[in-house]
A and B are shown apart, each in its own frame.
Chain A
Amino acid sequence: MTTTIKDRTAIVGIGQTAFGKGLEDTELSLACQAIAMAIDDAGLAPSDVDGLVMFSMENGREVEVARNVGLGDVTYFGEVGYGGGAGCATVGHAAMAVAAGQCEVAVAWRARKRSAKASRPWANVNQRLSGATQWSRPFGLLRPVDEIAMLARRYMHEFGATRDHLANVALAFRAHANRNPNATMYAKRMTREDYMKARWISEPLCLFDNCLETDGALAVVIVLAERAKDLKQPPAYIHAFAQSIPRQHQVMTNYFCDDPLLGPSYACANLLWKRSDFTPRDVRVAQLYDAFSPLIPLSLEGYGFCQRGEGAAFTDDGALEWPHGRLPTNTAGGGMSEAYVHGFNLVLEGVRQMRGTSTSQVEGAECCLVTSGEGVPTSALLLRR
């Protein structure tokens, strides 16, 4: 009996809407459009789909998706929480459900209208704060960027990281977006001087340390590996999957545990590599969750590409840049320069790298690491050809 999901399922269809600001369609409509495109891309019919996994934060519900897209009888559905930490987990849960026989064709997706005011949870000012937020928001730590800036400043202090390191991240992803016609920042070049002159958002983080605010939707279709071989597209096998809530973690404001800079990626990476035939050394392309630039050095360390405290220096010498860097990262532009759809666009770029269809294709890459939110309960996938 097979006891792991290693290579038992594959992503066989991908779909995405245009990215923009102020799109007219609702989140539900965007979700349905992306899902329909992903099913088409796989060469399957909507009536084949019997599994659905989505973000808890999704506005459209499973029943609405099912009756809009015209799905068959759905036998498995589930949700994953914690915002940006959920992306890889929705795919992983779908893979587990397919591998366990609870459904045969599963869809995972994310749709978002980031420009809608209601999509900013921190902007809700009417209620008194209870639970975790009362320990930070009254003092003016209001937005996700403020919460991550607190960790970023400490990281820079402890390990000697500088704004030049953060600029390395922003510039690499922008250069990749400049090669991707679907990216929001396709036509907008950025120089180191642009980065250094950008206005502050929450010191030590400036405008270009932040992800975009994007309307759009993306979806993937997951089936058993045996079935994947007969479908239209080259399969991107789900080689390994992991999630983590690290011990004593507090969501976003993770300042209260023994070692706040030991982020969720460490615990996630432990299981991911344990379940994988690959090691970090074998990974030649990665899609790392980048809501904010300082998350990249934290993830590089957490997923084992370098030692603790070395993540900032790792970004030097164009290490994250296609085609010559040691680890081309966020090759479609990532959340900072392609689109910020809670990191789900990273999953699709991982699939394109395995298909050989990225606009910044890394030749000969056998596998691609995709990660979800650093700073929240998280998840990761290792895809392989």
Chain B
Amino acid sequence: MESGLLLPDLDDVDAAPFWNGAARGELLVQACAACGRRRMPPRPMCPACRAVQSRWDTVSGRGTIWSFVVPHPPLLPTYQALAPYNVITVALDEDPRLRLVGNLVARPDGAINEVDPSTIRIGEPVRVVFQAVDDVFFPRWVRV
């Protein structure tokens, strides 16, 4: 692939709706079609009620930084060229136990190494943006 970044397999049946949603600019989380319990990462069965039917809920795309790291070399070549960059885990506003890993960017089309890591704080509010990477749209996050 052009970007050299690691990419999800869009044929993964459990995950495909998430990536399809991202391509439309929507942040989706899986929810049980029977009891409504939301779960991420997606999986075939609801651990609360054992139903296998699921639906995908659109969420606000707002959350807070739960934790973050700043990787340094040695890394895979494409990532090493960007290092040091940030990786954040975001707790979603709808339910802070729903968390997604992503990157904090300075602007919607910004790179993952543009925000000064020393300024990042746990608890900072963020909102999702989507960036095209090869044939995938990655959710990334900007400060609110």
- Minimum CB–CB distance for A217 against chain B, Å: 25
A248 in the interface (beta carbon within 8 A): yes
- Do residues B89 and A140 form an inter-chain contact, with CB atoms below 8 A? no
Q: Which residues of A contact B47 (CB under 8 A)?
A: 248
A67 in the interface (beta carbon within 8 A): no
Which of A125, A131, A132, A202 lies in contact with B6, CB distance below 8 A?
A: A125
Which of B9, B84, B98, B101 lies in contact with A129, CB distance below 8 A?
A: B9
Which of A131, A154, A203, A250 lies in contact with B122, CB distance below 8 A?
A: A154
- Do residues A128 and B69 form an inter-chain contact, with CB atoms below 8 A? no
Name the interface residues of B29-66: CB closer than 8 Å to any CB of A. 40-41, 47, 66
- Do residues A143 and B75 form an inter-chain contact, with CB atoms below 8 A? yes
A142 in the interface (beta carbon within 8 A): yes
B144 in the interface (beta carbon within 8 A): no
- Do residues B76 and A250 form an inter-chain contact, with CB atoms below 8 A? no
B100 in the interface (beta carbon within 8 A): yes
Size of the chain B interface, CB-CB below 8 angstroms: 40
- Minimum CB–CB distance for B12 against chain A, Å: 4
- Minimum CB–CB distance for A385 against chain B, Å: 42
- Minimum CB–CB distance for A20 against chain B, Å: 20
B106 in the interface (beta carbon within 8 A): no
A159 in the interface (beta carbon within 8 A): no
- Of chain B, the residue at the smallest CB distance from A129 is B8
- Minimum CB–CB distance for B128 against chain A, Å: 13
Which of A127, A132, A200, A250 lies in contact with B84, CB distance below 8 A?
A: A200
- Do residues B67 and A140 form an inter-chain contact, with CB atoms below 8 A? no
B97 in the interface (beta carbon within 8 A): yes
B70 in the interface (beta carbon within 8 A): yes
- Do residues A150 and B87 form an inter-chain contact, with CB atoms below 8 A? yes
* Complex-state Cα separation, A137 to B138, whole angstroms: 12
B112 in the interface (beta carbon within 8 A): yes
- Minimum CB–CB distance for A165 against chain B, Å: 17
Known contacts A153-B68, A157-B67, A203-B84; is A138 also within 8 Å of B41 by CB? no
Name the interface residues of A229-255: CB closer than 8 Å to any CB of B. 248, 250, 253, 255
Give the one of B11, B69, B72 with max A CB within 10 A. B69
* Complex-state Cα separation, A138 to B12, whole angstroms: 15
- Do residues B76 and A154 form an inter-chain contact, with CB atoms below 8 A? no
* Complex-state Cα separation, A199 to B122, whole angstroms: 23
- Do residues B12 and A253 form an inter-chain contact, with CB atoms below 8 A? no
- Do residues B70 and A200 form an inter-chain contact, with CB atoms below 8 A? yes
- Do residues B72 and A255 form an inter-chain contact, with CB atoms below 8 A? no
Which of A125, A130, A150, A258 lies in contact with B97, CB distance below 8 A?
A: A258
Q: Which residues of A contact B15 (CB under 8 A)?
A: 130, 134
Q: Which residues of B contact A200 (CB under 8 A)?
A: 70, 72, 84
B23 in the interface (beta carbon within 8 A): no
- Of chain A, the residue at the smallest CB distance from B79 is A140
Name the interface residues of B115-135: CB closer than 8 Å to any CB of A. 117, 122, 133
- Minimum CB–CB distance for B102 against chain A, Å: 5
- Do residues A154 and B117 form an inter-chain contact, with CB atoms below 8 A? no
Known contacts A136-B101, A248-B47; is A203 also within 8 Å of B87 by CB? no
* Complex-state Cα separation, A250 to B69, whole angstroms: 19
* Complex-state Cα separation, A256 to B9, whole angstroms: 20
- Do residues B138 and A132 form an inter-chain contact, with CB atoms below 8 A? no
Q: Which residues of B contact A139 (CB under 8 A)?
A: 87, 101-103, 112, 138
Q: Which residues of B contact A250 (CB under 8 A)?
A: 41
B82 in the interface (beta carbon within 8 A): yes
- Of chain B, the residue at the smallest CB distance from A123 is B76
The 0/1 profile, CB within 8 Å of A marked 1, for residues 84-110 of chain B is 110101000000011111110000000
Q: Which residues of A contact B12 (CB under 8 A)?
A: 130-131, 134
* Complex-state Cα separation, A202 to B87, whole angstroms: 10
Which of A129, A131, A153, A157 lies in contact with B69, CB distance below 8 A?
A: A153
Can you offer 11 A-B residue contacts whose CB atoms are under 8 A?
A123-B76, A130-B8, A135-B100, A139-B102, A140-B79, A142-B75, A146-B87, A153-B68, A153-B122, A200-B72, A203-B69
The interface of chain A, by Cβ under 8 A from chain B, is: 123, 125, 127-132, 134-143, 146, 149-151, 153-154, 157, 199-204, 248, 250, 253, 255-258
For the complex of A and B, 4 pairs with smallest distance between CB atoms: A128-B9, A203-B70, A134-B8, A154-B67
